[in-house]
């Protein structure tokens, strides 16, 4: 079956630090890949996406590149802010179904 593996959290960073959250996937086809963010008490918001190999998704300073050879879609940001504190979910879309990772909590401190 399809699955998504994310790095364990929580990840604690100081403001302006560099962020990487690792995500790898297993899929029986060629999925689209997504990062969603969930702020406390809220639903999921789409952060960025990539639909084919070597695509780079980007939004609000976050980036992720679809790496088919390593089946990865790592999330990066050059300089995090306190407002980026949230839970981040990597997900793949295949056959009408989104499959999510378990989420990585990011805590950014001043």
Partner 1 sequence: DAGVTQSPTHLIKTRGQHVTLRCSPISGHKSVSWYQQVLGQGPQFIFQYYEKEERGRGNFPDRFSARQFPNYSSELNVNALLLGDSALYLCASSLAYLASAVGTEAFFGQGTRLTVV
Gyration radius of the chain's alpha carbons: 13
**Of these, 22, 24, 32, 65, which contacts partner 1 (CB under 8 A)?**
32
Under a CB-based contact definition with an 8 Å cutoff, are residues 47 and 88 in contact?
Answer: yes
- Burial letters for 7-26: b for 16+ Cβ neighbours within 10 Å, e otherwise? beeebebeeeeebebbbbbe
Q: Verify binding: residue 7, partner 1, rule CB under 8 A.
A: no
102 binds partner 1, rule: CB under 8 A: yes
Is residue 56 part of the contact set for partner 1 (CB under 8 A)? no
Min. distance of Cβ 91 from partner 1 in angstroms?
A: 8
**5 is an interface residue for partner 1 by CB under 8 A:** no
Collapsed DSSP state (helix, strand, coil) of residue 56: strand
What does the binding site for partner 1 look like in residue numbers (CB under 8 A)? 4, 29-32, 36, 41-46, 49, 51, 89, 91, 93-103
């Amino acid at each position: 079956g399809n699955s998504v593996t994310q790095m364990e959290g929580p990840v604690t960073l100081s403001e302006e630090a560099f962020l990487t959250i690792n995500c790898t996937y297993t899929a029986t086809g060629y999925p689209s890949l997504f990062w969603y963010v969930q702020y406390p008490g809220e639903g999921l918001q789409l952060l960025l996406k990539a639909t084919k190999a070597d695509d780079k998704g980007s939004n609000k300073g976050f980036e992720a590149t679809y790496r088919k050879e390593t089946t990865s879609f790592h999330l990066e940001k050059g300089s995090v802010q306190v407002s980026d504190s949230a839970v981040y979910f990597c997900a793949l879309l295949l056959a009408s179904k989104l499959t999510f990772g378990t989420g990585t909590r990011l805590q950014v401190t001043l």
